[in-house]
Every structure is written in structure tokens, then in C-alpha cells.
Amino acid sequence: MVVALLALGLSRVKPAAPSVEKSGVWIDTVRRGAMLRAVKGPGTLVPEHIRWITADTAGRVERIHLRPGAPVKADTLLIELSNPDVMLQSLEAERQVSSAEADLLALKSNLASDRLKQEAAVAQLETDAADARRRAEADRKLHAKAMLSDIDTGLSSDRANDLTERLRLGKDTVQVIQRSLADRTRAVSDQLEKLRAVARFRKQLVDSMKVRAGDDGILQDLPLELGQWVTPGTLLAKVVQPGELKAELRIPETQARDVALGQRVEVDTRNGIVPGHVRRVNPAASQGTVLVEVELEGALPKGARPDLTVEGTIEIEKLPDVLFVGRPAGAQPESTVELYRLAAGSDTAQRTRVALGRSSVNTIEVKGGLSEGDRVVLSDMSAWDASETVRLR
């Protein structure tokens, strides 16, 4: 009987709460007040103005005058390329221009000569027609006096009429030649201009093989070696203005939904904090992040340079009077989690269901389950899921 009672008593004794090393967990106190919502993400400093210098034509790298890091002016020579085919094409284009110019001069000369010949013929016709009219008039007077036959009078009149008509046709021919001179000259001139445009383009390709910076700044990149063959469109160099930088942050897409234009940003360059504001938010996500472009304000700290790794914190909003606590491990906004709450004046923590609200980088709003002044364990306690109570030692 005694043994049975002892066994029943032991079965009703609750197992002892597991112990957890207090120094190995993160404990925070629930507070009430203003909470700043923010999101954080890594990024890089990027120049505001970048000139990408690409190859206009294929060629072989013959000379490299500067290497990355050198200051450059717009007309600074960076690289020299060579391509015999491009040189030959330019010379052939110039030859075609010279040939077309000679053809135009010859055409103008021939048309001018034809016009002069026709004008001389018209002048002769004017003289002959005037003489024929005088003869016809004299013959009519003689015929009136019966001193000339009808046949002779008719012949002289017909000759005068014939020369008058030939004179009219000759003058029309002169006008046709003049119009033809303008039209044919214009057509050949247009063709000549096209050939000149081709020649200028070929000359530009030859000139482009002497690659210049195009802008004042710093030569940031020049990924070429002597003898390397490049094709049209190949990146030859990159020139930046190092004093004008912006930050490009990569914010997790789950946190980027509240990011908006104009929001304040603090960019940590590891050598100082630079303020700024959101200038652009990429409408598409890539690899789980959203690109946010930040315009920096004020002077940059020493050591700030393009492609420098930074970390940015974007201020979403300031909640004036809320209950909040440090963000538990793995907690998501607008969710419900179970946290261990420490009893007042005790080292025992009881599992408690907590409703969470809006979150920030390191804090999260508490909507229910906790009160101001409560102390909770924020570390991952999944190893003690089977226990409702743990003891912190």
C-alpha cells in the first residue's frame, strides 16, 4: 500500500524545467515610446557620371598610354589601335570623292559649252531671221509694183517664217539646256555629298582608333593588353568623376515594399556616415533584392571611392507611441510567435504567445501578449520547444 502511494505521488510530480546558460541568450525589455522603422541593406558607391568608352571599329591594341587611376582630360590619349582594312577603306572613300568632284567639274564644263554653242546658234538665227524679214518685205513691195513674180515673193516670205520659227525653237532649247544644267548638276552634287559623308565616316573610324578619354575625370578601368584584338562594341575603358558618387543599395524584397522616394538614408562607408535620400527604386526585383538608388548629401569621407562596399539604412517612418521590443530571431512582421517571458524577480521563463506588428532593422512592434517592462528571451529557443518553462542560470 505504501509503495503504491509513493508511485502515484511520483507520477504526479512535474519534471524539472531545463536550464539554459543566461550568458548565451539575448534578453530584452519591452518598452513603450517612439520607434523608428527602418530597413537595411548592403550596397556599393557608384559614380554619378560614367563614360563607357567602346570600340567603334575592330583593331589591334598597339599602344596603351595610361593605366587605371590616372587623371585624364577630355582629349587625353588612352589607347592606339591599328587596322589596315579601315585605313584602306578610308583611302578608297577619299578616292571616290575626288573622282566624283572631277566628274562634276567635267559635267559643268560640258553643259556650259553646250549652252554657249546653242546661244551662238540662236544669235546667228536672229541675224538670219532679221535679214529674211527685210528681204520678204522688199519682195512684197516689188510684187506690188509687178516687178517680182508671185513665186519669188512666196519663197522669200516662207524663208522669213521658217527662220522665225527656228529662232523660237532655238531660244526654247537654250532654256532647256539651262534647266538641264541645274538639274544634272544638283543630282551629281547630291551624289558627291553622299560620297563625302561616307569619306567623313571612314575618316572618323580611322580617328577613333586613337582612343581618347572624352571627359575629365579618373581612368577607372582599362581591361586591355598590347596585341589584343578588339571588335566593335568592345569595352575599352571607363572614365568616372570620383567626387560625384551615389549609393546603390540592395534591399531584401520582403522589406522593400515600404521604401519610397525621398525617404532619409544613412550610408555607412566604414569610415563615416553619409546622409542621403532615396532617389530611385528599381521596379523589378533581382535575386531576391530590390535596387535602391540613394543620392548622397554633404561631403564624402576620406577613402570614399567608386565600387566601395557600404551599408545603408533607410528610414521608413517614425511610430510615435507604440510597444516594442528587440526583434526576435526569425520573427516576421505582422505574425505571431512564442517567446519565453521571464517572471519578475525570478530566473524562470514561461513560454508566451506574442502578436507582432510592424518591424524595423533591430526592433519590432508588440501588438499583444506582452506588457511594458516585461523581459523576454529573443534568441532562438527551438531546442526547448518541448518545454513550457526554462530556467536561466
C-alpha cell at 337: 510567435
| 382 or 248, higher pLDDT | 248
- pLDDT, tens digit, for every residue of 75-124? 999 999 999 999 999 999 999 999 888 888 887 777 777 677 766 777 77
Query: What is the rounded CA–CA span in Å between residue 192 and residue 102?
Result: 10
* CB neighbours of residue 134 within 10 Å: 12
Residue scoring higher pLDDT (17 or 50): 50
| pLDDT at residue 235 is higher than 80 | yes
Q: What is the CATH number of domain 51-81+209-240?
A: 2.40.50.100
Q: Poorest-confidence range of 130-134, 252-256, 275-279, 305-309? A: 130-134
Give the span between the Cα atoms of 298 and 96, in whole angstroms: 58
Helix (H, G, I), strand (E, B) or coil at 298: coil
Cβ atoms of 240 and 49 closer than 8 Å: yes
Higher pLDDT residue, 33 or 12? 33
Is the pLDDT at 9 greater than 60? The verdict is no
Whether the predicted pLDDT of 19 surpasses 80:
no
Q: Which residues pair with 79 in a beta bridge?
A: 64, 211
Q: What tens digit of pLDDT does each residue of 117-145 get?
A: 766 777 776 776 676 677 766 667 666 76
170-222 pLDDT, tens per residue? 777 767 777 777 777 788 888 889 999 999 999 999 999 999 998 888 888 89
Within 13 A of 381's CA, how many CA atoms are on the CB side? 31
Which element (helix H / strand E) includes 377?
strand 375-377
pLDDT-derived band of residue 321, with 50, 70 and 90 as boundaries?
confident
Cβ distance 43 to 268 under 8 Å? Answer: no
Give the position of cell 583611302: 91
Query: Around Cβ 267, how many Cβ atoms within 10 Å?
Result: 25
pLDDT digits (tens, 9 = 90+) for 378-388: 888 877 777 88
| Whether pTM exceeds 0.95 | no
Q: How many CA atoms lie within 13 A of 176 on its CB side?
A: 8
What span, in angstroms and rounded, lies between the C-alpha atoms of 80 and 237? Answer: 12
Strand partners, 389: 350
pLDDT at 152: 63
Residue 89 and residue 93: Cα distance in Å, rounded? 6
**Residue-level pLDDT at 65:** 92
Residue 164 burial (C-beta neighbours within 10 Å; 0-12, 13-18, 19+): middle
Torsion of CA 189, 194, 198, 201, to 10 degrees: 100
Q: How is the beta sheet containing 59-64 ordered, strand by strand?
A: 210-212, 77-82, 59-64, 229-230
Encode burial over 62-75: b for 16+ CB neighbours within 10 A, e otherwise.
eebebeeeeebeee
Structure confidence at residue 6 (pLDDT):
46
Give the model's confidence band at 25: pLDDT under 50 very low, under 70 low, under 90 confident, else very high.
Answer: confident
Share of residues in the chain with pLDDT > 90 (%): 31
Q: Three-state DSSP class for 237?
A: strand
Q: Which residue has the higher pLDDT, 243 or 287?
A: 287
Q: Which residue has the higher pLDDT, 319 or 279?
A: 279
**Fold annotation for 17-47+242-392:** Elongation Factor Tu (Ef-tu); domain 3 (2.40.30)
pLDDT at 10: 42
The distance of Cα 259 from the centroid of its chain, to the nearest Å, equals: 24
Output the pLDDT for position 370. Answer: 87
Rounded to whole angstroms, the Cα distance separating 65 from 80 reads 8
Could you give the CA distance from residue 364 to residue 390 in angstroms, rounded to a whole number? 24
Residues 40-69: what's their mean pLDDT?
A: 91
Residue 175's Cβ-side half-sphere holds a number of Cα atoms within 13 Å equal to 6
Domain ranges, ordered by start, for the chain? 17-47+242-392, 51-81+209-240, 85-206
Element (H, E) at 2: helix 2-12
How many CB atoms within 10 Å of residue 268? 17
**232 — pLDDT class (breaks 50, 70, 90):** very high
Q: How far apart are CA 354 and CA 325, in angstroms?
A: 11
CA distances from residue 200 to 58, 92, 167, 333 in whole angstroms, order as listed: 18, 12, 49, 64
Range from 41-55, 279-293, 375-389 carrying the lowest mean pLDDT: 375-389
The answer, yes or no, to whether residue 341 has pLDDT greater than 70, is yes
Average pLDDT over the chain reads: 83
Can you tell me the distance from the alpha carbon of 253 to that of 113, in angstroms, rounded to the nearest whole number? 81
Distances from the Cα of 73 to the Cα of 34, 207, 218, 234, angstroms: 52, 18, 9, 22
